[in-house]
Amino acid sequence: GRVNGAASVVRPVLTSKKAVVLSHALNPRMTNISPYKMAAGTIDDAVGCAIAAGADIHHMAIMDNFCWCSSDEPERLGQLLETAKACYDVAVEYGTPFISGKDSMFNDFRGFDADDNPVKISVPPTLLISTLGVIPDATKVQTIDWKMPGDKIFVIGETKAEFGGSEFANMKELKDLDVPSVDPKAAKDRYERVFKAHQDGLLASSQYIWQGGLGAALAKSCIAGELGAHIDLSSVSNDLATAMWSESKSRFLVSVADNKCDELAKRFPEAIEIGEVAGERLVIAGADAVSVAELSASYQETFSKF
């Protein structure tokens, strides 16, 4: 099925098996809550999306684009400082150097409305992170679509009640929620293991969980593979909303052939089995079932005018 992926892969030199993977991430809704966590999470999202496609964190660089406002004001300058600190901390831990970037510090408009009242409009403080990574063998590129009925589905990584700046919080107009945090050391270790799993052909599908949480990731894998799934999220969280919509970082949604589950458990003791690929509907225990056709129609409607 037609669904947008979170990374692009190209093979620029046809005489080489190597491929280049590109990904991007940003979340300006998190800046006013915690600029440090926003920046750390943005780097983690961009890197994680590239890893899910098959990239090697040891052969990856990143780029920044700061689109800020009123950076001469103490509060905005303080947010900028915290953002830069997070960029340094996470990039050093990941070993992913910043090779380029762009800064735009005064994205503000000052003028008057139709009644001659003073008006000031500022963009939200925004950090865009882009990654440039290498996949040593283009045949090892991984995609998000379910492959075969009967494949088992796992979540790799811990899911917490972290909704600050999330799609769920934005839609529900929720305030004062925790912004997802990043443990760069633990994340890097997981990313190394995911890369090795790709190289060894362990995973049938792989998707980084980010915007929209696990619920959005499940829907996209169903649409992409034109296959349904039977899911039980009780082992992910005892709260269904947290399991579905939390945007905790450094997590993956993967599927594997049934005969490879034991190997997955050895390599990823933190993996939680949540169900299997089956049928033509996404069936989640405790929630309404929806057909893959309905998911696809809803997804495509978003882009109907573009």
Do 187 and 92 touch, CB atoms closer than 8 A?
A: no
Tokens of residue 248, six digits = 């905790």
Residue 38, pLDDT score = 98
pLDDT at 128: 98
C-alpha closest to that of 178 among 203, 193, 161, 191: 161
Q: Which amino acid is at 278?
A: A
Tell me what pLDDT residue 302 has: 82
pLDDT at 226: 98
Dihedral angle sign, alpha carbons of residues 80, 85, 86, 92:
positive
Please report the pLDDT score of residue 196 as a whole number: 98
**Entry pTM:** 0.95
Contact 64, 104 (CB under 8 A): no
- pLDDT value, residue 42: 99
List, in sequence order, every beta strand (DSSP E) within 105-213.
108-112, 118-122, 126-135, 152-156, 205-208
Q: Read off the DSSP letter of residue 234.
A: T
Residue 134: phi and psi, rounded to 5, are -120, 135
The count of other CB atoms within 10 Å of the CB of residue 263 is 14
DSSP state of 235: T
Q: Answer for the pair 36, 44: CB distance below 8 angstroms, yes or no.
A: no
Strand, helix or coil at 199?
helix
Find out whether 282 and 274 touch, Cβ atoms under 8 Å: no
pLDDT of amino acid 305: 76
What CA dihedral angle connects 80, 86, 89 and 94, to 10 degrees? Answer: -130
Token pair, residue 157, equals 């990584």
Q: Can you give the residue ranges of every domain in the chain?
A: 7-302
Could you give the angle at which helices 74-94 and 35-53 cross, rounded to 10 degrees? 30
The pLDDT of residue 303 = 80
List the chain residues with pLDDT less than 70.
Answer: none
What single-letter DSSP state applies at residue 167? H
Question: Strand 271-277 and strand 126-135: pairing?
Answer: unpaired
Single-letter code of the amino acid located at 221:
S
CATH H-level superfamily of 7-302:
PurM-like C-terminal domain (3.90.650.10)
What is the rounded CA–CA span in Å between residue 254 and residue 209?
10
